Amino acid sequence: MVKVGVIGGSGYTGGELLRILSIHPEVEIKWVTSRKYIGRRISDIHPNLRGFIDLKFTQLSLDNIDMIDVVFCCLPHTVSMNIVKKIYGKTRIIDLSADFRIRDPAVYEKYYVKHMCPELLDKAVYGLPEIYREQIRGAMLVANPGCNSTAIILSLYPLRKFLEKSFITIDIKEGSSASGRNPSLSNIHAERINTVRIYMPMEHRHLAEIRQVLGIENISMTAHAVGMARGIYATTYIFTENLPSEKDLWKIYREYYSKEYFIRIVNRKYPPYNLPDIKGVVYSNFCEIGFKVDKGNGRIIIFSAIDSLIKGAAGQAVQNMNIIFGIDEKTGLDYPGFYV
Amino acid sequence: MVKVGVIGGSGYTGGELLRILSIHPEVEIKWVTSRKYIGRRISDIHPNLRGFIDLKFTQLSLDNIDMIDVVFCCLPHTVSMNIVKKIYGKTRIIDLSADFRIRDPAVYEKYYVKHMCPELLDKAVYGLPEIYREQIRGAMLVANPGCNSTAIILSLYPLRKFLEKSFITIDIKEGSSASGRNPSLSNIHAERINTVRIYMPMEHRHLAEIRQVLGIENISMTAHAVGMARGIYATTYIFTENLPSEKDLWKIYREYYSKEYFIRIVNRKYPPYNLPDIKGVVYSNFCEIGFKVDKGNGRIIIFSAIDSLIKGAAGQAVQNMNIIFGIDEKTGLDYPGFYV
Amino acid sequence: MVKVGVIGGSGYTGGELLRILSIHPEVEIKWVTSRKYIGRRISDIHPNLRGFIDLKFTQLSLDNIDMIDVVFCCLPHTVSMNIVKKIYGKTRIIDLSADFRIRDPAVYEKYYVKHMCPELLDKAVYGLPEIYREQIRGAMLVANPGCNSTAIILSLYPLRKFLEKSFITIDIKEGSSASGRNPSLSNIHAERINTVRIYMPMEHRHLAEIRQVLGIENISMTAHAVGMARGIYATTYIFTENLPSEKDLWKIYREYYSKEYFIRIVNRKYPPYNLPDIKGVVYSNFCEIGFKVDKGNGRIIIFSAIDSLIKGAAGQAVQNMNIIFGIDEKTGLDYPGFYV
Amino acid sequence: MVKVGVIGGSGYTGGELLRILSIHPEVEIKWVTSRKYIGRRISDIHPNLRGFIDLKFTQLSLDNIDMIDVVFCCLPHTVSMNIVKKIYGKTRIIDLSADFRIRDPAVYEKYYVKHMCPELLDKAVYGLPEIYREQIRGAMLVANPGCNSTAIILSLYPLRKFLEKSFITIDIKEGSSASGRNPSLSNIHAERINTVRIYMPMEHRHLAEIRQVLGIENISMTAHAVGMARGIYATTYIFTENLPSEKDLWKIYREYYSKEYFIRIVNRKYPPYNLPDIKGVVYSNFCEIGFKVDKGNGRIIIFSAIDSLIKGAAGQAVQNMNIIFGIDEKTGLDYPGFYV
């Protein structure tokens, strides 16, 4: 049994992580911290977990690090590195913030703040199993990817050879839980329902990790908020002179991902189910990828859908944990989502 | 392994049932029928099930009854009895329609149509495990309860002694999937979102089974459509001279349900999570029950929430199957729902 | 032209009020205050009003009271009376808070806090035009009714003779804008969408005004939050020995409301449009009322739907203003809502 | 008073048109046809219009053409031309279908079917007032633009000089009412809520009219269905070597649109209201346009939001009618939308 601690377990990502861990057959949850809810039952804040986790939120104590095999850090960006700095080396760390995703401290500083422990950036492994599985195996510190980054990188990584001299722009549609459980004007129900609005017109922070992994700079992104609670839908437009056929793309993706359990290449015959859809992946750890070649316009269109809280956060974190501890990677994540 | 056939597997209830069965460790799905989609892959119609079920929809053939241990019948009311009539006795049947829920053919006729095989009504067991577990064990034909009925009966059954001379009215709030996957004016997205509307002002068909099980006639119900896709929320108002205290109710419910895994009595300290909530049960087989005693108004208020497709349909059907075949009742259903 | 000032104009009620006033042909908006947004353009906070109102939010100054004919006070309960106390007598006041709705300071204190200016309670007129039109005409201080109260009182007032010895319970379904524009855990989009939850199980504050106007005490209420942004749907259940026929109810309502422009008695032939529906009234000042008599259960069921921000708040406030200033009551409010 | 007939008035576009016409001070509605609802009261199908329109749906009769000054044709594409063919020349026609938007019958045939009356294509004026106001004035037949086309053309027309050698792709997010009031699998509430899905990956029919008006071929589009009921949000990405500054774009748009009442260039300081938003335009005839220049990526990003049923259909149709009859163009359309 892997002994687990969770730092910052009261938000949506923390709740999703606890849900997965609570039914993971090889995990024992030892403690869960939350500054806001110390002493409150976890299931009072995550009512769906009643009966599945019988603990109270505690204060973070470094003394408790010894009793665990791995800690999941679900703190906000820029807060997380303060904690990681103190516990690095004492236990395995899976950090769900952005603090260790970027190799270059100057790039991190450009998108966030000055890094507090740049010496750890090199030690961190980017936790995208479909690409970095081998490195994750031995990692002491895993930087769990951003939700948008996961959807985008998984769908574009196999196409790198088409990207280099192309014009590439990504249009993101994002559910509301991605903005967290802290109340603010922009995530009030009445503000967020029945609309589409720009969340980040350009230079979204996730571009830093996307560029780093894809190894290109010529990629841009615009993020929209839409009125669903979960899910990331990424539509990528690639204008390239070197236009492949849809058959070519099929071949590339199948070759690349044929053994990847959580990747589904979607190209069905009949609408409305012919292409990736949030409903195909929501409440699961799967990623749906699809594509069209728009010859007349010299355009490849790539579609990618994930559940933002699972494959985009907590599910992927558990996938990383499974890899680290030599457990079958699918363990605790091997169930379909819900269509309705 | 229990060998299973599913009749009518392309709707929302069928899809939910297939989802549960596809990851049930003791089940093998042998065939799934659908008149509309014969020859189409099941995962083309239920995209979330891709990788979990690798069958195509077939035509119903009575010859295939022999190869299975149990059939789930997910046909519409009044259609189902035609099929059940033909296969009764050849295999175990769990019927998710209303056709075998009512004992008295005259009552059935009043709410539906003339019954085609009234001789089977006596053989059917009402499939509410928390109440009829023993009878279900040996049943050849289980009549799986309606979604509203499940929410209501579970919350009122322990209170029967307060019901007899009381004025009782139930206010139902129902998600859109309860009206099925067949397109109609009343379930179009633009008609159904952002509203509350009366679905059935009085004499809802489910009252027939509710009255039968509770053993009272003085109970009424008004059903509202609200803009969520899943879930039944039942608020029951009981005006009684014989007003219990909240402590009394606690005692009654705990006594009655303390060993029932899927029932949660909810009475937390802090809002907004203090009372039953669709979010506490949705995507799970749990039923949340809560209560308040409004002394000043002589009123008991009972709250009950379930996922309409799971505890209100497919999950309960699998719970019944588990009982019939001596499998642990929780098998395949033992996971928390999703809060967000 | 009526010269108008608005105190507290940055919330949803304030925004709706400004929308109506901005196109009211007999109104000139002189100033709008907001503590939070002093100096910001009103259309920066209410983007829909761009081009219709060209003012900035200001700080409240009592010196500005002289220049106006009427002030709308859109402050929270318990804050409003502090201001009203200071300006009473200097201009007409339409107060949208609960602070002057209750005659008896002891009752006010029971549901809110100790009243700061109980001497004004007698001066205030309850601003429900369909009932108190005559008194509103000369009022210096109008207490604009609560949203739930409006839906309930309008639907029950003509039935008072059936209420006295009956068992009455009201089931409210409320949209999210009713909880205001201040972010809190319970109005986050991801918490509020896709659910039904109890907002107030009993003794909702609006009962105080409802009982006062209806002149009865035996009435109870349970309020639910549902996932729409606007609208109040009230379903009232009346168990009475003195059961009228539906024809009787038609007669009573028609007699009572035949000259009331904003009241619609709804009883159409074909579902899903046969009974009151949020979609029939939302974005308008209309109130839909319907009814069913459930003889078998000795029950009258009354349905009532309004737009919570218009007939339930800002629209009604403008209707009151029109009455005070001798303007045709419909002015600025005479348009249909939006069905989709 | 302009005497008006409406053909096909029972859908969402028809309903919206009737709402606008019913409160238009210079319009008299003479008749409204609907094959499906002949003899039914219009307000039975559009409950929000009760009290505002007191007619029943009738059958279309060519004899009734003489009594009107203008007919609005709200029939489906390919059906409309059958009717227009018969009535052309007898009255002014504003056709809301796609049948007369395309000049070239070969292009029409490519995207739709073989045209039945190609001789009329030349007579039709494309009804986008901000661009073709002069031609609309004298038109006998106005082809009202598509909803996506309106959002896109209005936002791109002033930028034509940047488009010619650029790579341009449009990402559309569309509300559900755009797929009409006829029930189908893809517009069921439970299928459409909580998701983002591809509606048309490429070669959307509206591209034909967009290319025709913009005078370029190098423009592509991908349309997504999102879970709101109304609204079109168009995000256009332009990769150009000839990158303007944001100041340049301001200047261009202000010059072009400074006198256009229904166009708002949006560039506010504070999020979440800094850029165009469905909530800024929904329930109104306004179009919000915004832009960002992403220098690092050589990209212009154009944002455009409209209400799909008003500026994208019925409101624009009435704007065209006003122009034809010399009425102030804003008449009947001059009110703000609703933010919540």
Q: Flag if A169 and D173 touch (Cβ within 8 Å).
A: no
Of B177, B184, B190, the CB nearest to D229: B190
CB neighbourhood size of B103 (10 A)? 16
Determine, for residues C47 and D266 on separate chains, whether the beta-carbon distance falls below 8 Å.
yes
Q: Which residues contact C243 (CB under 8 A, 6 or more apart)?
A: C293, C295, C298, C300
Q: How far is D302 from chain A (nearest CA, A)?
A: 10
B53, two tokens? 């079920």
Name subunits touching A (3+ CB pairs < 8 A): B, C, D
Tokens of A277: 């859809």
The predicted pLDDT at position B270 comes to 86
Which residue type is seen at D6? V
Q: Do C189 and A185 touch (CB under 8 A)?
A: no
Substitution target from C165, C192, C195 for chain B, most B beta carbons within 10 A = C195
**Which conformational region is residue C53 in: left (phi greater than 0), alpha (psi within -120 to 50 degrees), or beta?**
beta
Nearest to C45 by CA among C309, A183, C36, D288: C36
Q: Grade residue C271 by pLDDT with cuts at 50, 70 and 90.
A: confident
Residue to substitute from A189, A228, A338, interface C, most C β-carbons within 10 A? A189
Show the DSSP H helices in chain A as ranges: 12-22, 42-45, 80-87, 105-111, 129-137, 147-156, 160-163, 189-192, 206-214, 246-257, 278-281, 315-324
Residue in B with minimal Cα distance to A51: B336
Locate tokens 């560029």: which residue?
A: A211
Rounded to whole angstroms, the Cα distance separating D219 from D153 reads: 11
Amino acid at A99: D
Contacts of A271 in chain D (CB under 8 A): 186
| Helix segments in chain B, DSSP class H | 12-22, 42-45, 80-87, 105-111, 129-137, 147-156, 160-163, 189-192, 206-214, 246-257, 278-281, 315-324
DSSP letter at D185 equals G
pLDDT tens for residues C179-204?
899 999 999 999 999 999 999 999 99
Mean pLDDT, rounded, for A10-14: 98
ipTM: 0.96
Residues from chain B contacting residue D282 (CB–CB below 8 Å): none
Which candidate, A332, A287, A337, A129, places its Cα nearest to that of A213? A129
Angle between helices B12-22 and B315-324 (to 10 degrees): 50
pLDDT band at residue B182 using 50, 70 and 90 as cut-offs: very high
CB contact under 8 A, B189 and D185: no
Model confidence band, residue C125 (pLDDT cutoffs 50, 70, 90): very high
Q: Are B339 and A46 inside 8 Å of each other by CB?
A: yes
**A chain contacts of residue D233, beta-carbon cutoff 8 Å:** 196, 224
pTM of the model: 0.97
Residue B229 has pLDDT above 90, yes or no: yes
Q: For chain D, what's the residue count? A: 340
CB contact under 8 A, D189 and B12: no
Question: How many CB atoms within 10 Å of residue A154?
Answer: 25
Residue pair D99/D145 in contact (Cβ under 8 Å)? The answer is: no
Please provide the average confidence, as pLDDT, over all residues in chain C. Answer: 97
β-sheet bridge partners, residue B167: B239
Residue that has been written with the tokens 């379903």 in this structure:
C235
Chain B: nearest CA to D131, how far in angstroms?
Answer: 31
Task: Tell me how far apart the alpha carbons of residues D94 and D112 are, in angstroms, rounded to a whole number.
Answer: 20
- Predicted pLDDT of residue B271: 87
> To the nearest whole percent, how much of chain A has pLDDT over 70?
100
What mean pLDDT comes out for the span A115-126? 97
pLDDT value of position A270: 86
Cα D340 from Cα C28, distance rounded (Å): 24
Residue B180 φ/ψ region, left for φ over 0, alpha for ψ in the -120 to 50 degree band, beta for the rest? left
Q: List pLDDT tens digits, range D128-162.
A: 999 999 999 999 999 999 999 999 999 999 999 99
| For residue D271, pLDDT beyond 90 | no
**pLDDT of C270 above 90:** no
pLDDT (tens digit per residue) in B189-219: 999 999 999 999 999 999 999 999 999 999 9
pLDDT above 90 for D270: no
Strands (E), A24-132: 27-33, 70-73, 92-95, 125-126
Residues of chain A in contact with residue D204, where contact means CB-CB under 8 angstroms, are none
Q: How far apart are the C-alpha atoms of B149 and B204, rounded to whole Å? A: 10
The answer to whether the beta carbons of residues A28 and A2 sit under 8 Å apart is: yes
Q: Of the candidates A204, A218, A106, A123, which has an alpha carbon nearest to the alpha carbon of residue A168?
A: A218
Q: C173 by DSSP, 3-state: which?
A: strand
- Given an 8 Å threshold on Cβ–Cβ distance, is C193 in contact with A12? no
- Closest CB to C226: pick one of B171, B190, B196: B196
Q: Are strands D220-226 and D196-200 parallel, antiparallel or unpaired?
A: antiparallel
pLDDT at B16: 98
Q: How many angstroms separate the CA atoms of D303 and D275, rounded?
A: 8
Residues 6+ apart with CB under 8 A from D222: A235, A237, A301, D169, D170, D171, D172, D198, D200, D201, D202, D204
Nearest CA in chain A to B308: A340
Rg (Cα) of chain A, in Å, rounded? 20
Length, in residues, of chain A: 340
Residue range C34-44: mean pLDDT, rounded: 97
Whole-angstrom Cα distance, residue D101 to residue D104?
9
The amino acid at C23: I
* pLDDT for res C226: 97
* Cis-peptide, bond into residue C272, ω within 30° of zero: yes
Say yes or no for a CB contact (<8 Å) between A227 and D230.
no
Chain B residues close to A283, C-beta within 8 Å:
283, 338
Region D286-315: what's the mean pLDDT?
Answer: 98
CB pairs under 8 A between B and C: 164
The confidence band for C7, taking pLDDT boundaries of 50, 70 and 90, is: very high
Interchain CB distance below 8 Å, D23 and C336: yes
Residues of chain D contacting residue C338, judged by C-beta atoms under 8 Å apart: 16, 19, 48, 283, 338
CA distance C69 to chain B (A): 37
CA atoms within 13 A on the CB side of A228: 30
The answer, yes or no, to whether residue A271 has pLDDT greater than 90, is: no
Contact assignment for C283 to D338 by CB distance below 8 Å: yes
Catalytic: which of D73, D74, D147, D287?
A: D147
Alpha helices in B124-195 (DSSP H): 129-137, 147-156, 160-163, 189-192
Partner residue opposite D292 with nearest CB, options A196, A202, A292: A202
How much is the pLDDT for A11?
A: 98
- Rounded CA-CA distance B168/D257 in Å is 63
pLDDT digits 0-9 by tens, B250-278 = 999 999 999 999 999 999 988 889 999 99
Active site residues of C: 147
pLDDT of residue B212: 98
Which 8-state DSSP code applies to residue D243?
Answer: P
- For B19, the enclosing helix (H) or strand (E) is helix B12-22
| A48 vs B contacts (CB less than 8 Å) | 279-281, 284, 336-339
Q: Note the pLDDT tens digit of each residue in A147-183.
A: 999 999 999 999 999 999 999 999 999 999 998 999 9
